[in-house]
Amino acid sequence: MCDSLTRLGCPTGKTFVTRFPTPDEVPDNLLVHYIRGVFDGDGSLYHTTNGWHVNFAGTIALLDPMRDYIHQQTGVRFGIYPHGKVYMMKVGGNYQVGHVMEWIYKDATIYMERKYNLFKNGE
Identify whether the C-beta of residue 104 lies closer than 8 Å to the C-beta of residue 35.
yes
Q: What is the CATH number of the domain that holds 38?
A: 3.10.28.10
What residue numbers bound the domain in which 72 lies?
Answer: 2-121
**Tens of pLDDT, residue by residue, the chain (123 residues):** 667 666 766 666 666 678 899 999 999 999 999 999 999 999 999 999 999 999 999 999 999 999 999 999 999 999 999 999 999 999 999 999 999 999 999 999 999 999 999 999 885
Separation CA 40–CA 45 (nearest Å):
10
Nearest to 43 by CA among 24, 22, 23, 70: 70
Identify whether the C-beta of residue 77 lies closer than 8 Å to the C-beta of residue 71.
yes
Looking at the structure of the chain, the number of domains it has is 1
What count of other Cβ atoms lies within 10 Å of the Cβ of residue 87?
19
- The model carries a pTM of 0.88
> Which residues make beta-bridge pairs with 87?
58, 82
